[in-house]
Structure 1
Amino acid sequence: MRHDDVSVESRRNVSLPKAAESAPAAASTWQFRQLLPGLAACIIGGAIALAASRLLPGASPLLIAILLGAIWRNTLHVPEILMPGVAVSAKKLLRTGIVLLGLQLSLSTILGLGPGVLLVVVLCVGVTFGATLLIGKWLGIDLPQRLLIAAGFSICGAAAVAAAEGATKAKQDQVATAVGLVVLFGTLMIPIAPAVGALFGMDEESIGMLVGASIHEVAQVVAAGGAVSSSALAVAVTVKLARVVTLAPIVAGVSIYMRKKHAVEGAKTPPLVPLFVVGFIAAMLLRTTGTVPAPLLEAAQMAQTFLLAAAMFGLGLGVHIRGLMSSGSRSLVLAALATLVILVVAVAGTLLFPPMS
């Protein structure tokens, strides 16, 4: 009898851990099934955007992805079953893409621009970021919305908006508003920035510097610089990537500020420095060493573009034009003024510190 009791107890001891182990596994499987439809939709949307960009020379897959998502959101019904996976795509895939973006940045190349150009980059980012926050406060816009617009318009567009989202604890509609404004005003800047440069009698490389220092998205910079000349494009992209480098310290600074602010209010504090920002810096430093093989860099660039396109499709699904026009009138004014600020600073800086030949 005692032996049977021991056997029964032994079986219980064995079966209980198995049950405990199976519960988290079942929960993980259920969660993955919940996310799968939205993830699949964003991945397919990103793939379509990549294919469309190859058929349309000069078109950015990231902008196409945002537009595809926004068109779907504003013309057709978006099934509710997609939303959990879309939310994950707009955050996790994008942050992974931002980490890989660091592999495209070499500090030696950025420093090669010279102190004058680097000063202009710092002023464009710093003055625009600060002015946008100040003007937004005068307009009565919430701090998270101001921070998102400031990051997007001063650094690198939608990627910066999404990068700052976690630090600002912004609502999804605020993120969508900032992304929509970046797409709108960045697209308008594609013909405006080169035209302004020509108006001031700048040479092609100076126009490239102006384009890289003032236009919001990397893809929009490529479109504008490429329309001028190959030399203008090279300078524009390098200057723009110098602005992208400031993404890490600014997001880290916003995180620290919001952490202190929420600590005072007794709310949950955001992380001191987001993990993806650390990854971005590590990838940039790795690229700077020159030890990463060229094929691996090419593969990373393709993966980065695909991940960002999938994430942008997800962000596009959150762009509701009626809501943007009805509730975002003050944000629209702020975006226009932020664009004007960065254009003025970039023009003045380019005239004072033209790129070295």
Structure 2
Amino acid sequence: MRVTFRTVRAIAPGLLSCLVGVLVAIAIAANVDGLPMLTAAVILGLVLGNVTGIRQYAGTVLKPGLDFAARTVMRAGIVLLGLQLSLGDVAGLGVAGIGAVIGLVILAFALIWLLGRLFRLPHDESLLIASGYSICGASAIGAMSAVTRTPAGRAAAPVALVTLCGTLSIFVLPLLAVPLGLSDPQLGWWAGAGVHDVGQVVATAGSAGTAALAVAVVVKLTRVVMLAPMTAVVSLAARRNPALLAAEARGTDASGSRPAIVPLFVLGFLAAVLLRTSGWLPEAALETAAGAQHVLLGAALVALGSQVKIGRLLTTQSRYLALGLLAWIVIGGLALLLALLLA
């Protein structure tokens, strides 16, 4: 996109509203136990896009900036997400553990995508929901939407669903761990393998203490590493059969250019992972990058949340809600099985 004064002036109001939303989300998360900032950001976006007296601005004055945040800002946040991942931490799971997590991601992705098709969702939206639940929540949806060329408005419902179910996990998993007789490491495996966003994993496993949290974070970050190969596979499929994804996403014919095999921002994500693994960056730089990543993803989620129309989701899009809850059960059940076998 060519940057001009007119462009900056157009996106400024919406982008500023997203940044204000992030600041409010940070304050809310700091005062509400168990509520991650990114979840609070989606909730504020829902308010922006659904409350009478505010929502008309989200569709007019704020729209250019909200679209910019949902697309470009989201991609920048995904790149910085790579700086949270060290391949050395992943290697600590061992060959069996890594293989099990990879198998879980692939199986969950395939099952949830098939469920989406059974619910008669378009291919691209089925892929968004599958990637969000199986890999890393809203970040994976943002990455996959770039590959499938799904407009931000159509990516909003998958983001809302994955945020809703991830938030439910924060309370449901620790509650079920007691009657299931799970040890702290088992709860850590369950949370890391079955909960969606990193912040939600931390909130879920953190309630059981450091032993559960340490396992959960490593398992979760191993799933995040799968973001690059999974988007590459889908991109290859889209290049071989553009009508499968791009035409549905745009609502037009499939005459557009083919997507890159690996989008540029995904390559940036991989470069960030390698940079973190190298150990060259000082701790202060990593902490700064982590803060920036939270702000960028938070701004993007405010924007995506503003495009969810709750009334429509509960009525004409009720099958999305049913699919989201069923997908949550699928990934949770597979993750629990993994926890019982490996922890």
Show the counterpart of 1:128. 108
Match of 1:139 among 91, 96, 119: 119
Show the counterpart of 1:248. 228
- Structure 2 distance, partners of 1:83, 1:262, is 28
CA contact (8 A) 2:161 2:324 kept: yes
In the alignment, structure 1 residue 209 sits paired with structure 2 residue 189: yes
Moved more, 253-262 or 290-299: 253-262
- Structure 1 distance, partners of 2:212, 2:195, is 14
Residues 217-241 of structure 1: CA deviation (Å, up to 9, x unaligned): 2111111111111211111111111
Q: Which runs of 5+ in 2 are unaligned?
A: 245-253
After TM superposition, give the deviation of residue 248 of structure 1 in Å.
1.0
Show the counterpart of 1:149. 129
Relative to structure 1, the CA distance from residue 201 to residue 119 in structure 2 (aligned partners, 3 Å threshold; closer, same or farther) is farther
- Structure 1 distance, partners of 2:168, 2:243, is 40
Show the counterpart of 1:7. none
Correspondence 1:35-74 to 2 at 5 A: 35-74=11-50
CA contact (8 A) 1:198 1:207 kept: no
- Structure 1 distance, partners of 2:315, 2:150, is 19
**Cα RMSD for the two superposed structures:** 1.8
Show the counterpart of 2:289. 300
After TM superposition, give the deviation of residue 198 of structure 1 in Å.
3.2
Residues 299-350 of structure 1: CA deviation (Å, up to 9, x unaligned): 1011111111111111111111011112322222222221111112111111
- Structure 2 distance, partners of 1:123, 1:336, is 22
Moved more, 113-122 or 82-91: 113-122
What TM-score comes out, normalization by structure 2 length?
Answer: 0.91
CA contact (8 A) 1:193 1:214 kept: no
- Structure 1 distance, partners of 2:274, 2:316, is 42
In the alignment, structure 1 residue 184 sits paired with structure 2 residue 160: no
Show the counterpart of 1:350. 339
Show the counterpart of 2:275. 286
Show the counterpart of 2:248. none
Show the counterpart of 1:10. none
Show the counterpart of 1:161. 141
Percent identity between the two aligned chains: 40
Match of 1:223 among 195, 203, 212: 203
Show the counterpart of 2:302. 313
CA contact (8 A) 1:50 1:309 kept: no
Show the counterpart of 2:93. 113
Residue 327 of structure 2 aligns with an amino acid whose one-letter code is A
CA contact (8 A) 1:103 1:284 kept: yes
- Structure 1 distance, partners of 2:243, 2:49, is 37
Match of 2:319 among 316, 319, 330: 330
Number of aligned residue pairs: give it: 330
Show the counterpart of 1:9. none
Moved more, 272-281 or 52-61: 52-61
From the CA coordinates, give the structure whose radius of gyration is larger: 1
Show the counterpart of 1:82. 62
After TM superposition, give the deviation of residue 57 of structure 1 in Å.
4.1
- Structure 2 distance, partners of 1:348, 1:95, is 33
CA contact (8 A) 2:70 2:152 kept: no
Show the counterpart of 1:341. 330
CA contact (8 A) 1:47 1:310 kept: no
- Structure 1 distance, partners of 2:135, 2:341, is 21
Show the counterpart of 1:30. 6
CA contact (8 A) 1:120 1:350 kept: no
After TM superposition, give the deviation of residue 263 of structure 1 in Å.
6.9
